[in-house]
Chains A and B, each alone.
Chain A
Amino acid sequence: MGKALPQPVENFLIELGRFTQLVGRLFAWTPRPPYDVRELFRQMVRVGLGSIPVVLLTALFTGGVMALQTFTVLRRFNAESYVGTLVGLSMVRELAAVLSSLIVAGRSGSAMGAELGTMRVTEQIDALEVMATDPVHYLVVPRVWATVLTLPLLVVLADALGIAGGYVVSVPLMGANPISYLHASFQFMDLKDLFSGLIKAAVFGFLIAVIGCQQGFYTTGGAEGVGRSTTKAVVLASIAILISDFFLTRILF
């Protein structure tokens, strides 16, 4: 092989090639039977249920902090009445999706990298292939679609808790009027805002699961390799979330 490309560029291209190939195989295998609905559901529970407490806590406090911050700034312009609007729109359009996704990347993306990585180094993936079972069909398809379906559900919860966090800070703490705060929260919010957050969440879910599975799938080098895959699954998924968030925001608004 010629050494024409610098190592980081070569590595990036290898990762990108594997990602594209895995996505291709994912879409090729998704419509093919047998459809393992039970496994899909099991993965949804694994991705979703365990993440709920952390996602809720994060959303609640983020909403609270946003209210605190914007309250002090907006008061300078006598615009405190818009705190609810700001917190609500920020959570629904942006923060709930990004924060929940980063949490899921840390919990589930890493778990997928570790699980598939261990299966790879202990020859369990080879064993699947030997038993006429495509590992992408059996392992990757349910994990990816489960994450795509579950993340938006988590985001709905995060939306609600974020707004609640803003309310808790503004109304009891800062003495805002409860009716006008809630009114401000939803006055400028339409369904498009809500859906754009959910679409983002679905895309992030897709990225998290594909990257996690990809890292696991191409693991080499025993226990150390599994550790490396797990770390890379989280780091790359987080980067992918943040970068794609920019472009999604450009497209959606």
Chain B
Amino acid sequence: MTEPKLSTPLEAANPGGDAVKIRIRDLMKSFGPKRVLDGVDLDIRNAESLVIIGGSGTGKSVLLKHIIGLLKPDSGTVEIDGVAMESLSNRDLTEFRRRFGMSFQEGALFDSMTVGENVGFPLTRQTEMTAAERRTRVEECLDLVRLSGVADKVPSQLSGGMRRRVGFARAIAVEPEILLFDEPTTGLDPVTTALIDEVIIDLNNRLHTTTITITHDMESAFRIGDRIAMIHQGKIVAEAAPEEFRQHADPRVQQFIHGIADGPLTVESAAFSKN
């Protein structure tokens, strides 16, 4: 298998001088008449933890799926380490994805497999681990999300929150260089949420994983984000470090952070459609 060529050098993109891991430029995507992404520009630095916030239906998940190449943009680019995702062939893309881990909103567990097989799946496909090593790693990952002892259950026996945690465990199993989390804590109790947040922070610190997390939970966002970006009507409208973000002048940001019903963000604009 040919490893796609990485046309590094990584470019220095900001005054801080951190290398850019993921560069998104003018990303556009429509589904039928509905424009979901309307020119997204975003840089994600190597080893940073970026949190993307925004109302429902503003295109957060769609953006995430472009980053990992599950969706192809109508126009614009997503570059990972200088490689444009949309230029890769199907086969190269499959290889390229070995660097990623992703957890999905509802877990997306394979219901034909046990929990243990689910978490072990990326290990089987992407590593040379022996069965015993895999078992150990699976237990470790399930331990991390406080789900030890469920390895032999099937997903349908678990609650929604538990499935989500198993999905999370599966995403981190191979300790990839880029981790994408699509609402990892939505619907979880505060204690479990804090736990998941800690795992994300730990992975980020210990393995220098580049992490992108989508969330509605502002407490989580401030806890795990080195930087927070807000997406609205298919565009990034604000991005800043947590402290700055808290003080951000944009009224939309303030409305979102404080969860106020009246303001520039309306439910209609959140469920954005543009004809």
Contacts and interface: CB of A to CB of B under 8 A. Distances in A.
Interface string B146-180: 00000000000000000000010010000000000
B104 A132 contact: no
Contacts of B98: 132
Contact of B105 (A123, A124, A129): A123
A36 to B, nearest CB: 11
A131 B98 CA distance: 7
A131 B126 contact: yes
Given A130-B68, A130-B101, A132-B98, A124 B125 contact: no
B95 interface: yes
A127 interface: yes
Q: How large is the interface on A (under 10, 10 to 19, 20 to 34, 35 or more residues)?
A: 10 to 19
A130 B104 CA distance: 10
A126 B170 CA distance: 14
Contact of B110 (A127, A129, A130, A132): A127
A122 B108 contact: yes
Given A130-B68, A130-B97, A131-B121, A123 B126 contact: no
B94 A129 contact: yes
Interface string B87-115: 00011001101101110111011110000
A134 B91 CA distance: 8
A127 B108 contact: yes
B108 A126 contact: yes
A124 B110 CA distance: 6
B108 A134 contact: no
Given A126-B65, A126-B70, A132 B94 contact: yes
Interface of A: 25, 119, 122-124, 126-127, 129-134
Given A131-B125, A131-B170, 13 more contacts: A25-B90, A122-B108, A123-B105, A127-B110, A127-B170, A130-B68, A130-B70, A132-B94, A132-B98, A132-B125, A132-B126, A133-B121, A134-B91
